[in-house]
Chains A and B, each alone.
Chain A
Amino acid sequence: MIKAFSDAFALMIGFDSQFLGIVGLSLRVTLSAVALAALIGLPLGAMLALARFPGRAGLVVLINALMGLPPVVAGLMVFLLLSRSGPLGPLGLLFSPSAMILVQTVLVLPIIVALTRQTIEDLWLEYREYLTSLGLSGFRAIPTLLWDARFSLVTSLLAGFGRASAEVGAVLIVGGNIAGYTRTMTTAIALETSKGDLPLALGLGIVLLSLTLLINALTFAVSRIGARYMGAA
């Protein structure tokens, strides 16, 4: 056991190329997914916060529920979508990093939309009269609201990043855990643990844990900075 730990540290400190490749791919996939989900989810969440239409309450509940979408179910859905006979089959994306980015975007999007909706709705209550007075009513208020909610919204992006980086089921199903191509930290840990290669699993586990710690530290720092420098409570 002690040997496993020391081998794990050797891997990390020695910049083992396989090790670095896995960490790099994980970060690339997850960061791309969060960026994509933010690009879609921030405006969408803001629009949902401001729009009033029949069925809105139902949609809000649905999106909130999707925050807890089981990753394996998301994986299955995207698998069916991308499989050879599926609607997006001809693109040939299955078992590629692109497919993993797509499935993680599906997982992160509800988190970003739901948290953005909540944040923007609260902010709109406070800003409504003033922005309307300036002629920024309806969707024209969105850029102002998104910018002014920036501290809370960064927190929601970090929450999305946390969910995507820790998730294993979805990337396993659509990525296939192909060594050197679609093997991420989580899928590698699952595989190596069952194979008995504990040093690699442990090393990756430590990186993953540090990442989680870092995300939480960042979340804390962002809200502190927001409160201290902008009074953005």
Chain B
Amino acid sequence: MRTPPPSILPLAVSHLDYLGGGRVLLNDLSFEISGGRTVLIMGPNGAGKSLLLRLCHGLIAPSGGNVRWRQPDGIVAGHKRHAMVFQKPVMLRRSAGANIRHALSAAGFSAGTSAERTRLALKKFGLEALADQPARLLSGGEQQRLAIARAWALHPEVLFLDEPTSQLDPGTTLKIEEMLGALKEEGVTLVMTSHDLGQARRLADRVLFLNRGRLIEDAPAAVFFAGPACAEARAFLAGELLW
């Protein structure tokens, strides 16, 4: 048995600021994420949730403060060990299988490893039948499942997900949640945003509640959903439940 690669966690975010268009979009956020838990970032529209994921994943640079992984940039032995799935899946103009192979070769894996892991990823998530289909002609739900399989193939220790089911019907949402459950069982740390309160309850171990660019509550999910400490989160949950 090979020894597992050194963990990139904890992820330490300290005094994170982000300015955009002359406005403060994120203001002095500090928290730490350690392994194996699912963290839900919640809050109303414009709270800065997606922005926070992008900053943690390194897609954009902070205006102030910093994002620190235990291993520099979350990279171990040349491989980035955190990945991201977007709200609207980005599908390359190739087959489903080629999409996964491309991600693997971009991440520096050999052609042989890429082919093998592609096969495994398609099999694991029941997508084998779609392997040769053009990815962009798949349905929205199939595309998002492929995006998650593609991310899984990279064997990330942390997976960021930005509203992964916001554009999908309940049946597909359930399938995605099953996939996420499987990832969690493997010990992948999920950090996601969601507007779906039921989903948040089902998946979250911990909730970070953001409002207007500030982190105003950081609590275990059970505590948060039983009764948040801050008034804003209470109003948020009540407002959502009224719908």
Contacts and interface: CB of A to CB of B under 8 A. Distances in A.
Interface of A: 126-127, 129-136, 144, 147-148, 150-151, 226, 229-232
Given A132-B59, A133-B83, A127 B137 contact: no
Given A129-B59, A148-B92, A148-B93, A229 B134 contact: yes
29 contacts: A126-B90, A127-B90, A129-B59, A129-B84, A129-B90, A130-B86, A130-B90, A131-B106, A133-B57, A133-B83, A134-B103, A134-B107, A135-B80, A135-B106, A144-B92, A144-B106, A147-B94, A148-B93, A148-B94, A150-B93, A151-B93, A230-B134, A230-B137, A231-B91, A231-B134, A231-B136, A231-B137, A232-B93, A232-B136
The 3 A-B pairs with the shortest beta carbon distances in the complex, nearest first, are A231-B136, A130-B90, A134-B106
Interface in B70-91: 80, 83-84, 86, 90-91
A230 B93 contact: yes
Majority DSSP secondary structure for residues of B touching A? mixed
Interface of B: 54, 57, 59, 80, 83-84, 86, 90-94, 102-103, 106-107, 134-137
Contacts of B103: 134
A131 B136 CA distance: 16
A144 B94 CA distance: 11
B108 to A, nearest CB: 8
A161 B57 CA distance: 44
B51 to A, nearest CB: 12
A230 B107 contact: no
User: Counting chain A CB atoms within 10 Å of each CB, which of B84, B92, B94, B103 scores highest?
Assistant: B92
Contacts of A226: 93
Contacts of B57: 133
A52 B94 CA distance: 28
A133 B102 contact: no
B90 A230 contact: no
Nearest to B162: A129
Given A132-B59, A133-B57, A144 B86 contact: no
Given A134-B106, A136-B106, A231-B137, 5 more contacts: A129-B54, A129-B90, A148-B94, A230-B137, A231-B135
Nearest to B104: A134
User: Counting chain B CB atoms within 10 Å of each CB, which of A135, A147, A232 scores highest?
Assistant: A135
Nearest to B160: A133
Nearest to A134: B106
